[in-house]
Amino acid sequence: MSDEIASKWNSRYAYSGKPLPPPAAVLSRGERWLPKGENLTALDLACGRAANAQWLVARNFSVSAWDISETVVAEINSRQSASLIDATVRDVVEKPPSASSFDVIVVSKFLDRGLCGAIQAALKPGGVLFYQTFTHGLSNPDFLLCANELLSLFKGLHILEYHEPEPDSDGKADARLIARRPMHD
Ligand SMILES: C[S@@+](CC[C@H](N)C(=O)[O-])C[C@H]1O[C@@H](n2cnc3c(N)ncnc32)[C@H](O)[C@@H]1O
């Protein structure tokens, strides 16, 4: 199954030549919630072209970017501007992040409900999760969030911000969650 997923995404990423997209709005608009300090680590999970990772590198985080697609990871590694990103081919479902390993985790346009517990546990105490994905506008309903679903998937975290706007004129909408792991669970 994971080979099938990788090959689907490899063909989507086969040379696009497009400029890097902007980072997820949940991250750029939620900048004030980033933890402050020295030697902070961040993970861009299912990173795609790693726009989120690049934005975090520019804010002095030590950033890992993981994706199942070898094609997109090779593209990240070939970009000089991404040289500080530690980009790795990794199936995050088979190999989720370890417990208490990141100060920041960002997930955009990716949903695997079975992974949410591991994502929550992978935050260090005080670490912050930035999550943004679709509620409307995808043909596969498995990848669409239900109303308030991010809130229940991450109920062990302290919610800092949550938005779930109505669909736009194209019928698309996403939910955006910013939440912090308490210092003591
Ligand atoms: C819609 S793209 C989103 C990419 C990026 N996060 C963004 O916001 O542009 C979904 C990404 O998830 C990756 N992906 C899908 N299944 C994965 C898995 N099991 N492990 C790691 N990455 C996966 C795909 O390769 C693809 O890059």
pLDDT per residue over 73-132, tens digit each?
Answer: 999 999 888 889 999 999 999 999 999 999 999 999 999 999 999 999 999 999 999 999
- 19 pLDDT above the threshold of 90: no
User: Using CA atoms, how far apart are residues 105 and 127, in angstroms rounded to an integer?
Assistant: 8
- Taking the centre of ligand 1 as the mean of its atom positions, its distance from the CA of residue 44, in whole angstroms, is 10
108 Cβ contact partners less than 8 Å away, ≥ 6 residues apart: 24, 26, 27, 52, 130, 131, 132, 133
What's the DSSP call for residue 60? T
Domain 2-180 adopts which CATH fold? Rossmann fold (3.40.50)
User: Taking the complete model, does pTM exceed 0.95, yes or no?
Assistant: yes
Q: In the structure, which protein residues have their CB atom closer than 6 angstroms to any atom of ligand 1?
A: 5, 9, 24, 46-48, 66-69, 72, 91-93, 108-110
In the predicted structure, residue 7 carries a pLDDT above the cut 80: yes
| 43-85 confidence digits (pLDDT tens) | 999 999 999 999 999 999 999 999 999 999 999 999 888 889 9
Q: Which atom of ligand 1 is nearest to the CA of 2?
A: 19
Of all protein residues, the one whose alpha carbon is nearest to atom 12 of ligand 1 is 46
CA–CA distance, 149 with 146 (Å, rounded to integer): 5
Pick the residue whose CA is nearest to atom 26 on ligand 1: 48
Q: What are phi and psi of 28, to 5 degrees?
A: -65, -35
